[in-house]
Amino acid sequence: MIGIWILGDQLSLQQSALKSCNHQINTPVIFIESLQHIQIRPYHRQKLVLIWSAMRHFAAELAQLKYAVTYKIATDFQTSLQAWIQVNQITELRVMTPNDKPFIQIIQNLQLPCLITLIPNNQFLWSTEKFTAWAKSRKRLLMEDFYREGRRSFQILMEDKQPIGGQWNLDKENRQPPKGKLHPPPAQWFTPDAITLDVIDKVNSLSHLTYGEIEPFDWGVNRQQALQVLDWFIQHRLSDFGTYQDVMITGEQTMWHALISPYLNIGLLQPLEVIQAAEAAYKQHQLRLNSVEGFIRQVLGWREYMYGIYHFVDTEYAEKNWFGHTQSLPEFFWTGETNMNCLHQTITQIKSTGYAHHIQRLMVLSNFALIAGISPQAVENWFHAVFIDAYDWVMQTNVIGMGLFADGGVLASKPYAASANYINKMSDYCKSCVYNHKERIGENGCPFNFFYWDFLNRHREKLQTQGRMSLILKHLDKMSSEELHSIHQQAENWWSLRQN
């Protein structure tokens, strides 16, 4: 008898393990909520609710389709699987190959009385084998090259062999700062049903450490709701998404962003249907090309590229620390209690929702961690714990690679380091901050400023090897040794006092 184990981030009728059995009636299927597995780190409570509620909804859907569904709430995977295999006389356990390397190890280490077969993962457009073949044939692994290959392969926004509009990338049009009063359309949220309310009660009853606020819980938990979120974005947000995708405004938590990453990452949405929905809207409603291209690039380009790189690099990638940064994570990353308003606003939002958009993640959170010299591994672990859409394959490359440049430039062409000027340009955070975004030192000097210049000065020799940094480093030559010393001293004092 063949049985199927469905993991919490593989909730699709199209997933390969299910498809391998041709949807045969009464095929034994098992879901397991493992309490042991969620103790790896203090996960956000809303992520636990999302995953467990989505698993329960999908299990109910499969039961209606006449699968023989078993749903286990257990301490660990091994014990539950062993009992289920014996009861159902399973001779072969099929699992779609997990997205995350650590979970592949978990499966390989199981001691079960049956054959375990990993079915090739079909949750991404590029298989790991296809990406590896592409990567090995190239001298450089630029996302832009990969993205163009994806556009050609899947014929997305193409006219014959050329990109629609004559340009592959319209990112220059997608960096507008906030001007005047912006009014983003509201997000598509949902009221928890009975299943979700039961999961909320369960998560509230957990005795081990978790993170964040659990209510209000507004996320979708099944495919129908995920499709509603996608449709809402296409109808109400996509047209203006590109122009203001980098903007940060107090009180506007989601701006024009799609909010589909939690659903994509657990299988409730498929990447090609998302891409094709955006392309169809562009053609039918003449939406702005910069918005549609910018959104498609995030899914067809960045998301697929990150997954491919994650499986392409060696196992030592997770421990990369090119700058040798060792500072521990400040407590305010968990509490949000800091006088730096940009960090306070972003972390407070994450506590209440499990979400922040890509510029808050890159240019506020990761930027601060980079220039302040915080351990890349501590930062990656925090990102993995607090975000509702976080998984190992997402965070290894996004945090270690792009955010902190700890891989020395495997996937980013320069460190994403910036002073307070950038945050002031792209947000309204600085207006309500106790620090002055123009000052480098002194009582009102913004930590983003003195950490930024100290970071450049401390790592000048290494940064000189990065071609795109040469112009920025020349600014250090215009600063006196006394000023650079004062900046370094202020950075040292900040850590010694661990002030906000």
At residue 448, the pLDDT reads 98
Judged against a pLDDT cut of 70, whether residue 500 lies above it is answered with no
Beta strands in 114-203 (DSSP E): 115-119, 158-159, 162-163
What does the pLDDT read at residue 261? 98
Q: Check whether residue 280 and residue 364 sit in a common domain.
A: no
Query: Which residues are CB-contacts of 59 (< 8 A; sequence separation ≥ 6)?
Result: 29, 31, 69, 71
Q: Which runs of consecutive H residues, i.e. helices, occur in 91-158?
A: 101-108, 128-136, 143-154
For the stretch 415-434, pLDDT in tens is 999 999 999 999 999 999 99
| SS3 assignment, position 280 | helix
- The residue among 312, 338, 373 that closes a domain is 312
Q: Of 395, 372, 371, nearest to 385 (Cα)?
A: 395
Lowest mean pLDDT among 56-60, 211-215, 314-318, 353-357: 314-318
DSSP string covering 340-376: -HHHHHHHHHHHHHS---HHIIIIIIIHHHHHHTB-H
Given a cut of 90, whether residue 137 has pLDDT beyond it is no
pLDDT band of residue 181 (cuts 50, 70, 90) is confident
My answer on whether 283 and 158 are in the same domain is yes
pLDDT at site 494: 95
Q: How confident is the model at residue 176 (pLDDT cuts 50, 70, 90)?
A: confident
**One domain for residues 213 and 107:** no
State the pLDDT at residue 125.
98
- Sorting pLDDT into bands at 50, 70 and 90, what band is 453? very high
What digits encode the pLDDT tens for the residues 255-295?
999 999 999 999 999 999 999 999 999 999 999 999 999 99
| 467 pLDDT more than 80 | no
- Across 43-129, where does the E strand assignment appear? 68-74, 92-96, 115-119
Same domain, 150 and 288: yes
Instruction: Single out the residue in 260, 285, 312 at which a domain terminates.
Output: 312
Q: Check: CB of residue 260 under 8 Å from CB of residue 230.
A: yes
* 235 and 174, same domain (yes or no): yes
323 with 441, same domain: the answer is: yes
Q: Give the pLDDT score at 302.
A: 96
> Are 427 and 342 spatial neighbours (Cβ–Cβ below 8 Å)?
yes
Instruction: Count CB-CB contacts under 10 A for residue 281.
Output: 20
Q: What is the pLDDT of residue 6?
A: 98
Query: What CATH number did the domain enclosing 143 receive?
Result: 1.25.40.80
> What's the pLDDT score for residue 367?
98
CB atoms within 10 A of CB 136: 8
* Interval 138-154: pLDDT, tens: 888 889 999 999 999 99
- Together in a domain, 283 and 326: no
pLDDT-derived band of residue 446, with 50, 70 and 90 as boundaries? very high
pLDDT of residue 468: 81
Q: Is the peptide bond before 28 cis (omega within 30 degrees of 0)?
A: no
Whether residue 209 is found in the same domain as residue 231: yes
Q: Is the pLDDT of residue 122 over 80?
A: yes
At 417 the pLDDT is 96
CATH number for 38:
3.40.50.620
Does residue 245 share a domain with residue 141?
Answer: yes
**94 dihedral zone (left: phi>0; alpha: psi -120 to 50; beta):** beta
- Domain of residue 28 covers 2-119
- pLDDT > 90? residue 167: yes
Residue 139: predicted pLDDT: 83
Lowest-confidence region among 25-29, 340-344, 390-394 = 25-29
Indicate if 190 and 207 belong to the same structural domain.
yes
The residue with greater pLDDT, 437 or 139, is: 437
Does position 499 have pLDDT exceeding 80, yes or no?
no
Q: How far is CA 466 from CA 322, 450, 456, in A?
A: 13, 22, 12
Dihedral Cα 386, 387, 391, 392, nearest 10 deg: -50
Residues in the chain: 500
User: Same domain, yes or no, for 303 and 381?
Assistant: no
Q: Nearest-CA neighbor of 170 among 242, 223, 100, 122? A: 242
Residues 328 and 295 placed together within one structural domain of the fold: no
| Average pLDDT score over the chain | 95
H or E element at residue 34: strand 28-34
Structural domains counted in the chain: 3
User: Measured between alpha carbons, how far is 404 from 322 in angstroms, rounded to an integer?
Assistant: 9
pLDDT given at position 471: 86
pTM score, two decimals? 0.96
Domain containing residue 346: CATH number: 1.10.579.10
pLDDT, position 413: 86
Which H/E stretch holds residue 28? strand 28-34
Residues in CB range of 324: below 8 A, 6 or more apart? none
Q: Which residues of 1-34 are buried (b: 16+ CB within 10 A; e: fewer)?
A: ebbbbbbbbbbbeebbbbebbeeeeebbbbbbbb
**Tell me: the pLDDT tens digits for 303-315?**
999 999 999 999 8
Q: Which pLDDT score is estimated for 236?
A: 96
Last residue of a domain, one of 119, 138, 162: 119
Cβ contact 277:232 at 8 Å:
no
